[in-house]
Structure 1
Amino acid sequence: MSMIETPAVHHLSGGATDHHRHSSKRKLDEEDDGDFSDLVCVRMRKEEAVNSWSSSSGASGAAGSGCSVAVQKPRSHIQFFVRMMSAGNTIVMQAFPEDSVKSIHERIQSMKGIPVFEQRLIYRGKQLQWEQTLAECSIQNDANLQLVGRMRSTEHPQAWQIINDMVSLVYRLCCGETVHDSLKTIKGLITSYLNMTPRIDNESASGYFQIFMSSSAPDVLVMLYVSPYAGNKDCAESSVRHFLSSCRNTLSKALHGQCACVVLEFCKLLRRVGSNDPLYLYCRSTFGSLLETAGVSYAGSDNAKGLVLIKDIFPFVFELVNCLLMDLDSSMESHRAVGPLSNDVVDFTAFLVPLRTGIKEQQAVNGSMAQDKSNKDLLHAKEIEYLHCLYMQLLNKIDQCLQKMDQSLAGQEMMEGDNLYPGWSHYLSILKELYQISKLYDGAEEKLWSVLRRHRNVVCLLIVRYAKRTDEHQWILEHRFVTNFESRRHLAMMMFPEVKEDYEELHEMLIDRSQLLAESFEYIARAEPESLHAGLFMEFKNEEATGPGVLREWFLLVCQAIFNPQNALFVACPTDRRRFFPNPASKVHPLHLEYFSFAGRVIALALMHRVQVGIVFDRVFFLQLAGSYIVLEDIRSADPCLYTSCKQILDMDADFIDSDELGLTFVREVEELGQRKVVELCPGGKNLVVNSKNRDKYVELLIQDRFVTSISEQVSHFAKGFADILSNSKLQQYFFQSLDLEDLDWMLHGSEDTLSVEDWKAHTEYNGYSETDIQISWFWEIVGSMTADQRKVLLFFWTSVKYLPVEGFRGLASRLYIYRSLEPGDRLPSSHTCFFRLCFPAYSSMAVMKERLELITQEHIGCSFGTW
């Protein structure tokens, strides 16, 4: 059974929402003062109680006096107050100290008609026994008692006891009473109550939350928050925060729906205090975070019970949109403007997630679009239409912001590390939410992409500067026309874990150069994927050099070995020897599939460490990794002869091909382990002649067998190895889908341009030398006369970088340095590749310097010559 008597305290909800975020905290108006006065001043002042005394003495004479009943007070009487939990008012009573508790129950029955056996009087957290006297119970003047139903009438008596004890204590504090360790006691009661709450979402758990609401616990805590007595506000704030954080952190997600209903009540009450009130903002954030897992429902749905309704969320969304509109205005005003606050954006996102879900469910049930004004039965149609209006307001405002941003950056080349307006930092998050809303309304998405296309440059800058690993970016990568290579690369790179700087977390490798491929395979292929996520630490046996420079060298060497055609794993494209795709005949190696997984891991690790390895994929390989279908035009580079043949078959005269002059059937010949065999492209393919009607199908099946079926296992294992390195292995196909083939070329191979001496010089600094020294002039003159290959070897000797990023020297992780060494002039240059340092002594002549540099730019010397 539920409690027979429940407290009824005046609720603070129901007032208009205050959307003006930046206004100072207003005092309550007269109407609000009345509401709070009812709460704070439930206990009648003593003089008011005396004044309300009527000439008619005794309980029977007072019965008709309404909420406040006064009894004539002789000198020896004590006066006390009984809070009516059901009626929401207080009885002022007088009695002798020697009167029994039972007599008080009988007087209450005569006044209120509540049977004695259904009454329970609580004082200082303890139930008063019938046989006790008021003196024995320590009832004194102005004591406050609570009248509730008997514990045996409720399903959860212990929970009722705890919450009523808490309400009683809070009520005493509201009346100005000083209670020792009140905050500690309230928090302890809250913790005890939540600890006994069931951890699964069932009727029992629902009953516990109903107890909290029925006992008016939210009301009295907010009453304490607005209480004028010293310390009460801090006590209430700490108690409410404790309750909310405990709900979120200790209760299971299955109960978040029940929690959300309670937190919603807190929000409604506190909103009347002020929309800028810190405790209200905290409650609002908690409510939003709970909704992300709790879900919502709409009125009339079968599962509406126990869930927050759509109509309950709209006021918060409206409030937050108004906040964002004003903050976006301020973000355009000056360099110092902070713009939208992080909490507001997070809350906005949190409320929109369940709101969109609820609207979609409603649309599915009603079978109509949200903005269909003709559907008179559509629930919350006005609110949904208003959400569309809010969407348009926000979109127009963000359009203005992006335009202002574009104007502010006009003519500037933004470099990494350059300061941007702090107010711009949340634009991208707001745009993502606008995208989510746009999918609810016809034509709204097109308007959004029109805005983003118009401001493509600043959108890309926002992505590079503010996109976070924790965000979800699929929404913008699906529309690559509003991005550029730099922004797509940035988003793709965030699918990898972040390389750690702490060497103790790195996966260590000690490899013999003579056993490079086999030992690298053991270290990488046999490792648990998680152990590779922090990054790699590399060292060659019998060599002192360690650090990032050695790691870059290892990546280059191991990739050269993996893609070496002699190892039979990959085949180079005939027209572009940089491009590779899996070798259908790779099974000649017994561990070939494991090596493909190893290759996938190595390539992913190279990308994660931002090392250009000089290897690129053929289109057929790239498309299969992206899960895309292969068509004729995709095989042009991989097999030019087959491409030409297929084109000819498709372009031939229909009569000629129907004459069977070509003698083609649905088969293809394959050479495997030195033997040729015939493979049918479809069941019965040997007997199916190619003609003008089925030639399209023949070409399609031929391409699929040659470039899909024959290498499907190899591609699958490579993809699995690649996925092992991503933060989320499920993102493997999405990684390749988010890029163009050219993007991946630039990320894996780097720049195709000849090394520019001027760009090189512009990104070099000096230590021990100055730019005007004769040795520096000689050096750049000698570099300028080198061949392209010699420059690559010199750069590799200097940095262990053989292929520059597509941005050139600007894209390197550091500037380059030339150090003056104190060694004799006959010594060769040395390098510290980890720090991009080239060291050489002050050579006596340009001829001597040129001789030394030419020596180290020989391929067999320049590689692996750095010290560390």
Structure 2
Amino acid sequence: MRQSIFAIIIIFVIAICSFLLFILYSVLNYQSERQEIQNHLLSLSVSPYYDNVIKDSKIEIDRQNILGDSFECIMSKHASELYSRNRLQITFKNEIGSDEGGITREWISLLIDEIFDPKNQLFHFPTDNITQMSPVKEELISQKNIMYYRFFGRIMGRMIISKVNADVKLHPIIWKLLLNIPCNHLDFEKADPEFYRNFMKLKENPEIVIDLQTSFEEDGIEFIKNGKNILVNKDNINFYIDEFLKYKYITKFEKQVTEMKRGLFETINRNYLKNHSGKSFKLLICGSENIDFKNWIANTKYVNYYPAGKTIKWFWEVVKSFSDDEKKLLLQFVTGSSYLPGGGIKNIIGNNLYKTQFTISKKESFGDTLLPSSSTCSNTLMLPEYSSKLILKEKLLWAIKESNKGFGLC
């Protein structure tokens, strides 16, 4: 009997010890995994430069010279000042305001518009039926202008850090090249289906280029070694097609893309983007231009207004009647950006990179004279209590279309 009890006690002790060892192993394993994750996160944010203290860099921009001023300010800074956690504090010349995020969003939105404006000769539409832009040809770029691509790369990095989205109209292939993702014929076809379809007909009808004594060059530039002296024939037509497409979509922009990558990875760690595809990278930078109206209503906060009140009911009826462009203008006016982050309006960012709900706050007024105003830093629309839906619509449209873009109170 005693032996049986002793055996049971031994088994119980062994079981307890095994359980405690399991708990200890789990805790140690958890701590190890936690440390590994922390080290990984640290690697995404810690500067490769010696000084890793978080700093604020103040930048003053003239609205009348957004591209030029921004270029001079950003490119005059050492990369360590722009890297990861270091903050940029933007002010517009002769304007009062403290940048808690809203002014940065407005600045980037205006700057991206300038960068992609064809008049500045940095990007162009390859053909009339293409809506995304490619860098202009290398031979058309001055030595100073090539630096603008590095500058643009730095701006993209800062967009990721600041969680700011804007309409970056890059060609789909460029998004992949920035991440060193190989491109193939499927990418070339998607880039311009009509051109690709017609160009591939050369396989069945090589005489089209053979009769013209076509060589391996385009606009006087060889796309293979000694290309100007090599004529296309039936034996090398497939090679010609492959090399021409690589030149048209990749090699032609190699120097510009290299500079963009240089600027991008001066501001963020390469590991941050290593698992991204071209599409997901674009979503990270651009966000979404699709506005889910019901989701917008569901993720709006009210201050001194009731969701079921007359003014709020009118407001949403008015916004629902807006065109897509007018809805974007409203978002721009209130948040500083007309594009939404991945996940929609619930993920918009406010002060100091924290999620901040789209908010409608009651603006004290007497009569119908005042216009709506906004605080882009807190994603807040200050809306007076108007006497009719028609007046609300008129005042709101005037505010979002005619007033200064975005920044109201910060």
TM score, norm. by length of structure 2: 0.83
* SS of 1:693 mapped into structure 2: coil
* Deviation of 1:695 (Å): 1.5
Q: Say yes or no: does 1:747 pair with 2:301.
A: no
Q: Is the 8 A contact 2:217 2:227 kept in 1?
A: no
Identify which of 393, 398, 408 aligns with 1:855.
398
Q: Which residue of 2 aligns with 1:630?
A: 183
Work out which of the residue numbers 763, 771, 789 in structure 1 matches 2:307: 771
Q: Is the 8 A contact 1:816 1:837 kept in 2?
A: yes
Give me the identity figure in percent. Answer: 25
- Determine the structure 2 residue equivalent to 1:545: 97
SS class of match (1:726): coil
Q: Is the 8 A contact 2:153 2:263 kept in 1?
A: yes
**In the aligned structure 2, how far is the partner of 1:24 from the partner of 1:636?**
62
Aligned to 2:248, the other structure's residue is in SS state: helix
Structure 1 residues 718 and 647, CA, compared in 2 at 3 Å: closer, same or farther?
Answer: same
Shift of 1:22: 6.3
Which of 616, 621, 635 in structure 1 is aligned with 2:174? Answer: 621
- Alpha-carbon RMSD across the aligned residues, in angstroms, is 3.2
Q: Distance in 2 between matches of 1:345 and 1:795?
A: 43
Report the equivalent of 2:296.
760
Tell me the distance in 2 between the aligned counterparts of 1:842 and 1:557: 31
Q: Does 1:665 align with 2:214?
A: yes
Tell me what 2:320 maps to.
784
Q: Deviations over 1:195-226 (max 9, x none)?
A: xxxxxxxxxxxxxxxxxxxxxxxxxxxxxxxx
For residues 606 and 586 of structure 1, what CA distance do their matches in structure 2 show? 29
* Corresponding residue for residue 70 of structure 2: 520
Q: Which runs of 5+ in 2 are unaligned?
A: 1-13, 48-52, 349-354
**SS at 2:265's partner residue?**
helix
Is 1:690 aligned to residue 238 of structure 2?
no
Aligned pairs for 1:565-644 (under 5 A) are 565-574=118-127, 578-585=131-138, 587-640=140-193, 642-644=195-197
Q: Distance in 1 between matches of 2:120 and 2:126?
A: 16
Question: Post-superposition shift, 1:627?
Answer: 2.3
Q: Secondary structure at the match of 1:834?
A: coil
Q: Is the contact made by 2:289 and 2:338 (CA closer than 8 Å) also made in structure 1?
A: no
Equivalent in the alignment of 1:706: 248
CA drift of 1:554 comes to: 0.5
Deviation at 1:553, TM superposition (A): 0.5
Q: CA deviation at 1:618?
A: 1.9
TM alignment of 1:484-523, pairs within 5 A: 495-496=44-45, 505-523=55-73
Q: Which residue in 1 is equivalent to 2:383?
A: 840
Are positions 1:719 and 2:261 aligned together? yes
In 2, are the aligned partners of 1:512 and 1:519 still within 8 Å (CA)? yes
Deviations 1:581-624 (A, max 9, x none): 32214644341221111000001111111111111432321232
In the aligned structure 2, how far is the partner of 1:543 from the partner of 1:821? 22
CA drift at 1:497: 5.8
Q: Deviations over 1:410-438 (max 9, x none)?
A: xxxxxxxxxxxxxxxx6x96xxxxxxxxx
Aligned-partner residue type, residue 549 of structure 1: G
Shift, 1:662, TM fit: 3.7
Amino acid in the other structure paired with 1:530 = S
Amino acid at match of 2:292: S
Change (3 A) 1:843 1:504: farther
Please say if residues 794 and 862 of structure 1, whose CA atoms lie closer than 8 Å, have aligned partners that are also in contact.
Answer: no
**Separation of aligned partners in 2, 1:21 and 1:723:** 54
Q: How big is the shift at 1:809? A: 1.2
The alignment partner of 1:579 has SS state of coil
Residue 549 of structure 1 contacts residue 799 of structure 1 at CA under 8 Å; is this kept in 2?
yes
**What is the rounded CA distance, in whole Å, between the counterparts of 1:497 and 1:726 in structure 2?**
9
Contact 2:359 2:381 in 1 (8 A): yes
Distance 1:658 1:736, change over 3 A: farther
Deviation digits for residues 383-440 of structure 1 (CA, Å, limit 9, x no counterpart): xxxxxxxxxxxxxxxxxxxxxxxxxxxxxxxxxxxxxxxxxxx6x96xxxxxxxxxxx
Shift of 1:509: 0.7
TM-score by length of 1: 0.41
User: Which amino acid is the alignment partner of residue 505 of structure 1?
Assistant: K
SS of corresponding position for 2:197: helix
User: AA paired with 1:833?
Assistant: T
Count of matched residue pairs: 382
Q: How far 1:865 sits from its partner (Å)?
A: 5.1
Q: Deviations over 1:114-137 (max 9, x none)?
A: xxxxxxxxxxxxxxxxxxxxxxxx
Larger radius of gyration: 1
User: Contact (CA 8 Å) 2:134, 2:174: kept in 1 or not?
Assistant: yes
Alignment of 1:25-424 (within 5 A): 323=21, 326-327=22-23, 340-341=26-27, 343-345=28-30
Partners of 2:376 and 2:188 in 1: how far apart? 40
| Counterparts in 2 of 1:808 and 1:681: CA distance versus 1, 3 Å | closer
- Is contact 1:559–1:615 with CA below 8 Å preserved after alignment? yes
CA contact (8 A) 2:149 2:256 kept: yes
Report 1 or 2 for greater relative contact order, CA contacts < 8 Å, sequence distance ≥ 6.
2
2:366 is aligned to 824
Closer, same or farther: CA 835–749 of 1 in aligned 2, 3 Å: same
Amino acid at match of 2:218: E
AA aligned to 1:513 is R
- Are the structure 2 counterparts of residues 752 and 577 from structure 1 closer, same or farther at C-alpha, using a change threshold of 3 Å? farther
Letter paired with 2:396: L
Three-state SS of the structure 2 residue aligned to 1:766 is: strand
After superposition, the Cα gap between the structure-2 partners of 1:706 and 1:573, relative to the gap in structure 1 and judged at 3 Å, is closer
Mapped partners of 2:305, 2:185: distance in 1: 58
Asked whether the equivalents of residues 666 and 682 of structure 1 are also in contact (C-alpha less than 8 Å), the reply is no
SS of corresponding position for 1:508: strand
Give the partner amino acid of 2:372.
Answer: P
The match for 1:530 among 77, 80, 88 is 80
Which residue identity lines up with residue 174 of structure 2 in the other structure? F
Partner of 1:23: 17
| Cα pair distance change 1:695/1:866, threshold 3 Å | same
- Partners of 2:336 and 2:406 lie apart in 1 by 8
The 3-state SS of whatever aligns with 1:539 is strand
The C-alpha deviation readout for 1:740-780, integer Å capped at 9, x for no partner, is 22212221222232x23322211112111222321112111
Paired position in structure 2 for 1:647: 200
Q: For residues 731-742 of structure 1, what are the structure 2 equivalents within 5 Å? A: 731=270, 736-742=273-279
**8 Å Cα contact 1:497/1:608 also seen in 2:** no
Secondary structure at 1:819 match in 2: strand
Query: Which amino acid is 2:360 matched to?
Result: I
Q: Give unpaired runs (5+ residues) of structure 1.
A: 1-19, 26-275, 277-322, 329-338, 350-425, 430-466, 473-492, 671-677
Checking the alignment, whether the CA contact within 8 Å between 1:616 and 1:744 is kept in structure 2 is: no
Give the drift of 1:799: 1.4
Q: CA deviation at 1:517?
A: 0.7
TM-fit CA distance, 1:861: 2.5
Question: Helix, strand or coil for the counterpart of 2:231?
Answer: coil
Structure 2 CA distance for aligned equivalents of residues 790 and 853 of structure 1: 10
Per-residue deviation, 1:641:
5.8
